[in-house]
Amino acid sequence: EKGGYPHFMLKEIFEQPRSILDSMRGRLVAENTQLTMSSIREYATRFKNADRIIIVACGTSWHAGLVAEYMIEEFARIPVEVEYASEFRYRNPVIREGDIVVAISQSGETADTLAALELAKSKGALIFGVCNVVGSSIARATDAGAYTHAGPEIGVASTKAFTAQVTVLSLIAMMLAEMRGTMETSALRQMMMEMEQIPAKVEKALQLDKEIQAISEIFKDATNFIYLGRGFNFPVALEGALKLKEISYIHAEGYPAAEMKHGPIALIDENMPVVVIATKDSSYEKIVSNVQEVRARKGRVIAIVTEGDTVIPQMAEFVIEVPAAHEALMPLISVIPLQLLSYHIAVMRGCNVDQPRNLAKSVTVE
């Protein structure tokens, strides 16, 4: 059942070129700039006139929501708020009829996410679900939705469900841009073509496995890790840190790179591994300075860079090169080395990666 892999997690990491393709299948034909998602079309007027989109989710799904916030605001110019379902449901949130609430959940059974959407529904918002498990409670409670089609995810640490969520959410962002006329047709087509190339690029990123295993060996006994990213890669930093803590039990924190100087920089010394996602995008120059700040305090930088980068390799102790992609889609690629890094470190530490302590695959209690 593990398809020859020692753990479900590794199998699921390696399934991603395929699962991302499955999430796009029948929904994207770049050649003729065609996007199909009947559930969005069905509520076209609501989506077109939406005042605001509120995303509710927990854990990794919340990270996918953050990526979606950046994409939807950039492409479709709709204000987006991303909420932890558990906080949202208990704080008497302002919900208006023109709001659309998007609930993201792999299992479709997360108690807080379900309760948050029920609350929003009672206030008249349209509820849209992005779930992986077909027929799950959240999928049934929504007005409409799009399944992620990642296939069953057994490992407690979410991997292919995350990339499937980001894929579906990026298609939604593109559809909204098309419906609202906020993106030129040529730019939209370009974006769709970029999307079609993602599975092959993920495949390429997976070939870094051995290299990442070697880096993992060096850092397996670390007691802390910091993950930094900016823009679209900021949620990836959070996701990388979550992956590491949940399966290897190493304390890790993800931060927007610029926020570091407002506190966490005090933690940096020669014993602190700092994973920096520094791919070529609109915040590249800024992240170069952030890497310098870490180096100046002797932090041990492991940088995820775009293939061919010549600047960061001179500054970082370890460099992992991933294929170039449009910055909005980079999370689908930059997360791969981070999944592998946490996996290998956890295995080397003798942890039960598929069933980490204290955790369950779906959190059905609040």
Binds ligand M6R (CB under 6 A): choice among 16, 19, 86, 107: 107
Pick the binder of ligand M6R from 16, 19, 23, 105 (CB under 6 A). 105
Which of 16, 19, 23, 61 binds ligand M6R (CB under 6 A)? It is 61
The 147-186 site mask, x for binding ligand M6R (CB under 6 A), equals ---------xxx----------------------------
- Nearer to ligand M6R by Cβ, of 106 and 306: the residue is 106
**Which region among 6-14, 65-73, 102-110, 274-282 touches ligand M6R (by CB under 6 A)?**
102-110
Any idea which residues carry the catalytic annotation? 361
Cα separation, 84 vs 169, whole angstroms: 17
- C-beta of residue 114 within 8 angstroms of C-beta of residue 79: no
CB of 162 to ligand M6R, least distance (A): 8
Q: How far is residue 120's CA from residue 123's CA, in Å, rounded to a whole number?
A: 5
Whether 317 and 302 have beta carbons less than 8 Å apart is answered as yes
113 makes contact with ligand M6R (CB under 6 A) = yes
Q: Which is nearer to ligand M6R, 16 or 113 (CB)?
A: 113
Q: What amino acid is encoded at 15 in this protein?
A: E
Whole-number Å distance between alpha carbons of 128 and 149? 16
Q: In Å, what is the CA distance from 167 to each residue of 174, 208, 227, 354, 359?
A: 11, 22, 23, 24, 26
Q: 3-class SS at 25?
A: coil
Alpha-carbon Rg for the chain, nearest whole angstrom, is: 20
Site string for ligand M6R, 243-262 (x = CB under 6 A): ---x----------------
Burial of 209 (0-12, 13-18, 19+ CB in 10 A): middle
Residue 110 or 233 having the CB closest to ligand M6R: 110
The torsion angles phi and psi of 54, rounded to 5 degrees, stand at: -115, 125
Using the minimum distance from each CB to ligand M6R, give the nearer residue, 107 or 306. Answer: 107
Report the residue number, 19 or 110, with the smaller CB distance to ligand M6R: 110
Binding region for ligand M6R (CB under 6 A): 58-61, 105-107, 110, 113, 156-158, 242, 246, 362-363
